[in-house]
């Protein structure tokens, strides 16, 4: 054993060395100069999220003809399905895969996290130079809110800017019991309605809650769903443990009361989703994040009328600003061209609609000035519109209200900036604590937030464990960074 060991150790070391050298060779390629004209366009590789569509290549061929002429680029788009996107792009960026542009957001392939790791190119200079159209089109809050350590790394899609929580109601049941939604706003105000439903409809979930939900409290979270937050009313920006705030305590008590009264599904804390009751209509109300005209979309997708009423103000959070972005890869060979393309995508209706709806006459046809109708072939090119850039220049569908985008603009203008808009926590000094705190959070969060357990008992337990895991240290670090950020503003 001993003698063999001596013999193979150097071999192993040699192999590792070779591997390092070899992996270095693979990545060195030189960029070139006189390309990027209509005659000699450059190819941009674009990764974006969504179920891969059959006709992507066909559409991108058309897109490329158009963009080659306009800005001297062609486009190769690769779609990666929803559930795989984050993982695939994580590996691809970490290993320096050649990519020019990619989708990123607060909820898939995390924008802030990957910007810090160096996956994206900083665009502070490229943006005004090649992307002025984007700057003009976007509400300034978009670019302000998506800054990471003071720099921009991605281009937010022009869409709904603030996030507004609403109570959604199954209108059939509202009508059946002649219930009104006036005066409904706080969690406590729901009680009479829930009671009526519980008494009369034993098969219906009065308040449909699953494990992903938490009661709304007027706080801005430092990291979403970790319990550090700043009160919306506190201009001093003091970071607190949200579980120790009076608002959260009151909300959890109410949730627990509702749970005990049977308003909330017994197994809310382990339910991934409630799509089955949404399909059958066996729910009365729930809470959701809204956007203009959402009621129409919900009603259409469930097949019965859904109405909603506000449950919070419309606030502009970091995560709502980063709901959908396109970033340029740090290793892009043609960052200027990529920026030009993104600029065109966000300002040119022809390109934007081609990318979104496909080829006119094949996938859709125009039935009005700005109104289109999907043709049968659109099933081969069905793209998630919100993920691909400026919404406000896309065609309307026949079912859309004519003033759809005006509605969005009004909604955006009315949005109020959340206190931490533009601040993104740098976790690198507290990664160990975050890992521990995250585990504590997962252990207690769903049970507490759905009202399944008694907050009197479990809040103390959770807070003790959070402290032991180092929550205070994270809060301290966050406070330090926030103070610095505030001073620099």
Q: Considering only 79-87, 180-188, 189-197, 360-368, which stretch makes contact with another protein by CB under 8 A? A: 79-87
* Residue 226 engages another protein in binding (rule: CB under 8 A): yes
Q: Considering only 140-148, 172-180, 271-279, 396-404, which stretch makes contact with another protein by CB under 8 A? A: 271-279
Among 2, 6, 20, 180, binds another protein (CB under 8 A): 20
* Residue 371 engages another protein in binding (rule: CB under 8 A): no
* Cβ proximity to another protein, 32 vs 87, nearer residue: 87
Task: Report 107-136 residues binding another protein (CB under 8 A).
Answer: 107-108, 110, 113-114, 117-119, 121
Distances in Å between the Cα of 176 and the Cα atoms of 173, 197, 198, 409, 463 are 5, 10, 14, 35, 43
| DSSP designation for 242 | G
Of 185, 157, 164, 111, which is closest to residue 416 (Cα–Cα)? 164
Query: Cβ 487 to another protein, closest distance in Å?
Result: 26
Query: Cβ 435 to another protein, closest distance in Å?
Result: 3
Strand pairing category for 306-316 and 325-328 = unpaired
Listed as own residue / partner, the contacts of 293-300 with beta carbons closer than 8 Å and 24 or more positions apart are 293/400, 293/401, 293/404, 293/407, 294/166, 296/399, 296/401, 298/168, 300/399
Number of residues that bind another protein (CB under 8 A): 101
* Cβ proximity to another protein, 14 vs 416, nearer residue: 14
* Cβ proximity to another protein, 249 vs 282, nearer residue: 282
Query: Cβ 363 to another protein, closest distance in Å?
Result: 15
Task: Report 451-470 residues binding another protein (CB under 8 A).
Answer: 452-453, 468-470
* Cβ proximity to another protein, 90 vs 189, nearer residue: 90
Q: Which helix (H) or strand (E) holds 101?
A: strand 101-104
Among 84, 175, 365, 476, binds another protein (CB under 8 A): 84
Query: Cβ 24 to another protein, closest distance in Å?
Result: 4
* Residue 479 engages another protein in binding (rule: CB under 8 A): no
Among 37, 132, 186, 266, binds another protein (CB under 8 A): 266
* Cβ proximity to another protein, 70 vs 282, nearer residue: 282
Beta bridge partners of 68: none
Among 181, 196, 309, 331, binds another protein (CB under 8 A): 331
Classified as helix, coil or strand, 181 is: coil
What's CA 185's distance to the chain center, in Å? 25
Q: What is the CA radius of gyration of the chain?
A: 25
* Residue 374 engages another protein in binding (rule: CB under 8 A): no
Half-sphere exposure of 48 (CA within 13 A, CB side): 24
* Residue 375 engages another protein in binding (rule: CB under 8 A): no
Q: For residues 128 and 135, what is the distance between their CA atoms, to the nearest angstrom?
A: 7
Query: Cβ 203 to another protein, closest distance in Å?
Result: 10
- At residue 7, φ and ψ (nearest 5 deg) are -75, -35
* Residue 244 engages another protein in binding (rule: CB under 8 A): no
* Cβ proximity to another protein, 291 vs 318, nearer residue: 291
Tokens for 88, please give them. Answer: 């695939």
Classified as helix, coil or strand, 118 is: coil
- At residue 261, φ and ψ (nearest 5 deg) are -75, -5
* Residue 234 engages another protein in binding (rule: CB under 8 A): no
Q: For residues 379 and 372, what is the distance between their CA atoms, to the nearest angstrom?
A: 15
Q: Which helix (H) or strand (E) holds 207?
A: strand 205-207
Tokens for 1, please give them. Answer: 């054993």
Task: Report 200-219 residues binding another protein (CB under 8 A).
Answer: 212-213
Among 301, 376, 457, 488, binds another protein (CB under 8 A): 301
Cβ(209)–Cβ(450) under 8 Å? yes
Q: Considering only 192-200, 309-317, 337-345, 385-393, which stretch makes contact with another protein by CB under 8 A? A: 385-393
* Residue 410 engages another protein in binding (rule: CB under 8 A): no
* Cβ proximity to another protein, 234 vs 426, nearer residue: 426
What is the strand order of the sheet 371-374 is part of? 364-366, 371-374, 396-397
What's CA 474's distance to the chain center, in Å? 24
Q: Considering only 66-74, 238-246, 370-378, 442-450, which stretch makes contact with another protein by CB under 8 A? A: 442-450
């Amino acid at each position: 054993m001993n003698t063999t060991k001596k013999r193979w150790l150097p071999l192993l070391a040699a192999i590792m060395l070779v591997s390092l050298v070899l992996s270095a060779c693979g990545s060195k390629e030189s960029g070139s100069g006189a390309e990027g004209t209509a005659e000699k366009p450059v190819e941009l590789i674009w990764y974006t999220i969504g179920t891969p569509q059959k006709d992507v290549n066909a559409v991108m061929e058309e897109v490329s003809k158009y963009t080659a002429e306009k800005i001297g680029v062609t486009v190769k788009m690769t779609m990666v399905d929803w559930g795989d996107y984050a993982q695939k792009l994580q590996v691809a960026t970490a290993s320096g895969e050649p990519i020019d542009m990619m989708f990123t957001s607060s909820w898939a392939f995390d924008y802030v996290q990957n910007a810090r790791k160096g996956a994206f190119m900083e665009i502070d200079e490229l943006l005004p130079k090649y992307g002025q159209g984007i700057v003009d089109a976007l509400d300034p809050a978009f670019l302000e809110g998506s800054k990471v350590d003071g720099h921009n790394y991605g281009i937010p899609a022009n869409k709904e800017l603030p996030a507004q929580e609403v109570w959604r109601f199954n209108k059939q049941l509202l009508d059946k019991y002649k219930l009104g939604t006036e005066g409904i706003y706080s969690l406590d105000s729901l009680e009479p309605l829930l009671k009526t439903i519980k008494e009369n409809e034993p098969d219906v979930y009065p308040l449909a809650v699953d494990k992903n939900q938490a009661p709304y409290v007027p706080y801005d979270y430092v990291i979403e769903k970790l319990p550090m937050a700043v009160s919306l009313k506190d201009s001093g920006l003091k970071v607190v443990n949200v579980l120790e705030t009076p608002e959260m305590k009151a909300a959890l008590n109410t949730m627990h009361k509702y749970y005990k009264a049977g308003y909330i599904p017994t197994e809310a804390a382990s339910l991934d989703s409630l799509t089955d009751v949404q399909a059958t209509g066996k729910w009365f109300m729930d809470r959701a994040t809204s956007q203009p005209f959402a009621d129409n979309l919900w009603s259409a997708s469930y097949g019965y009328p859904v109405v909603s009423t506000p449950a919070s103000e419309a606030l502009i959070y970091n995560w709502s600003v980063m709901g959908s972005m396109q970033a340029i890869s740090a290793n892009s060979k043609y960052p200027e061209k990529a920026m030009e393309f993104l600029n065109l995508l966000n300002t040119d209706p022809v390109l934007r609609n081609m990318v979104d709806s496909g080829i006119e006459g094949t996938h859709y046809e125009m039935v009005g000035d700005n109104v289109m109708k999907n043709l049968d072939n659109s099933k081969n090119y069905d793209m998630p519109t919100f993920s691909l850039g400026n919404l406000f220049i896309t065609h309307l569908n026949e079912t859309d209200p004519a003033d759809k985008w005006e509605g969005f603009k009004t909604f955006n203008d009315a949005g109020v900036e959340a206190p931490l808009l533009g601040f993104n926590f740098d976790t690198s000094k507290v990664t160990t604590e975050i890992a521990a705190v995250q585990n504590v959070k997962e252990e207690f969060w769903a049970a507490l937030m759905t009202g399944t357990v008694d907050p009197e008992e479990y809040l103390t337990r959770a807070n003790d464990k959070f402290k032991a895991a180092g929550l205070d240290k994270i809060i301290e670090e966050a406070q330090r960074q926030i103070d610095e950020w505030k001073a620099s503003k």
